[in-house]
Amino acid sequence: MKTVMVIPTYWARPSSEGWRPGDAIYDHPTPLDKEGTLARAIESLKVLRKRDFLLIVIAAATAEEIEGQVEGMVKGIVGEAEPPMETLVFSHKDLEKLKEAVEDNVGPWALSLLSLRGYSNIRNLCLLLPHIFGAEAVVLIDDDEVFEDPDFMDKALQFLGGELNGKKVLAKAGYYMQPYGGYRLRKDFEPWMAVWDNLQRMNQAFEVFIAQGPRLKRTPFVFGGNAVIHREVFTKIPFDPKITRGEDIDYLINAEIHGFSFYLDRELTIRHLPPPKPHPLWMRMREDIIRFLYEREKIRESGCLRPQDYDPYPGAFLRDDLEEKVLRASQLLAIQYLSEGKAQDAKEALTNISLAWENPFRGGSVLKIYEDFRKKWERLMGEVEEKREVFSGLFTLL
């Protein structure tokens, strides 16, 4: 099975400049003056026994002014690390080449599907680029992980395309081993966490789907940094560009609306070694609030899915009491900020309450907008397949 592994890597302004309004928001982009985690991830590829796949590294910058620097940095890191397989580094400059080719060979209508800004848009490039090279399977990895299992790739592809209980297995999810060992998440308890209990709910889900057999089972969650998707899915189902955070679980929902399930593989593990997240808690919570409101509306509009289908996580955040959870958790977080003398942060935490209650997605057409995008995506993937030689010729492999 022809396979492509994709590793997106996110880079920010130097530490002395920090984040600026208008810059893209990612969990932990690497400042240009820091070493980052990419080299470590690529070095760890050498532990793999199966190496007959193409590696694509996507270099994403948080701001337009640093795109050239990011390209040079990532190419230097990849070249020095010497990955043990054919490799392509895809940069913002390459995106412009791809856009020109798409405009000439597919049409201007498809340009809106191509972007290197935002998690979902970057994830879509993680599907499109492998398709250009004829991939039957895409393995999605993040740059803050390391491979420890020599048989990772064999396990990743095992069962893919086969059947389980009469249904084809076309999308798989592995899971993360934490820096401190095991798969459970840890965090010092704070009062707001009693209400905004995402960490507890995630650990509950892990106990159900990771700790217990069988090896493969339908899963309500997926880690975007350890996922395997068959071409029958990725040529039809794109990531939703309206989602700014949690695009991996949203992708699972999109797939299920169209009859595809993700299966958790209890043997498919990778070590997750993330650096600290630079953005304040209220901002990260706000991104979660937005995506839960959005996904809840998408499920409601689907007519075929229910919040309880995703229990214990993310189902607990897709129910009618979401606004109440936001209200109580944000009040507790604001109190905590005030006790620390952080008045502006407290104000931002309280702003999350009005955001949830105003709910910009209520009574909208979330699913219709996504479906319009999806149909264009499927058409683009068909056009690319017909003109694969044109598009693959745009890029030079290392």
Give per-residue pLDDT as tens, 384-394: 999 999 999 99
Provide the angle, in degrees to the nearest 10, between the axes of the packed helices 366-386 and 247-257: 80
The pLDDT of residue 97: 96
Considering only 40-49, 61-70, 185-194, which range has the smallest mean pLDDT?
Answer: 185-194
φ/ψ of residue 288, rounded to 5: -65, -40
pLDDT digits (tens, 9 = 90+) for 355-369: 999 999 987 799 999
φ/ψ of residue 99, rounded to 5: -60, -40
pLDDT digits (tens, 9 = 90+) for 252-262: 999 999 999 99
The pLDDT of residue 58: 98
Give ∠ CA 239-244-248 in degrees, rounded to 5. 45
Closest CA to 173 of 245, 255, 95: 255
pLDDT digits (tens, 9 = 90+) for 164-193: 988 999 999 999 999 998 999 988 889 999
CATH topology of domain 3-276+370-392: Spore Coat Polysaccharide Biosynthesis Protein SpsA; Chain A (3.90.550)
The pLDDT of residue 249: 95
The answer to whether residue 269 scores a pLDDT higher than 90 is: yes
Instruction: Give the global pTM.
Output: 0.95
Query: CB neighbours (10 Å) of residue 148?
Result: 12
Percentage, residues of the chain above pLDDT 90: 88
Q: Which residue has the higher pLDDT, 84 or 363?
A: 84
Chain centroid, CA 140 distance in Å: 9
The answer to whether residue 278 scores a pLDDT higher than 80 is: no
Residue intervals of the chain classified under CATH 3.90.550 are 3-276+370-392
The answer to whether residue 101 scores a pLDDT higher than 80 is: yes
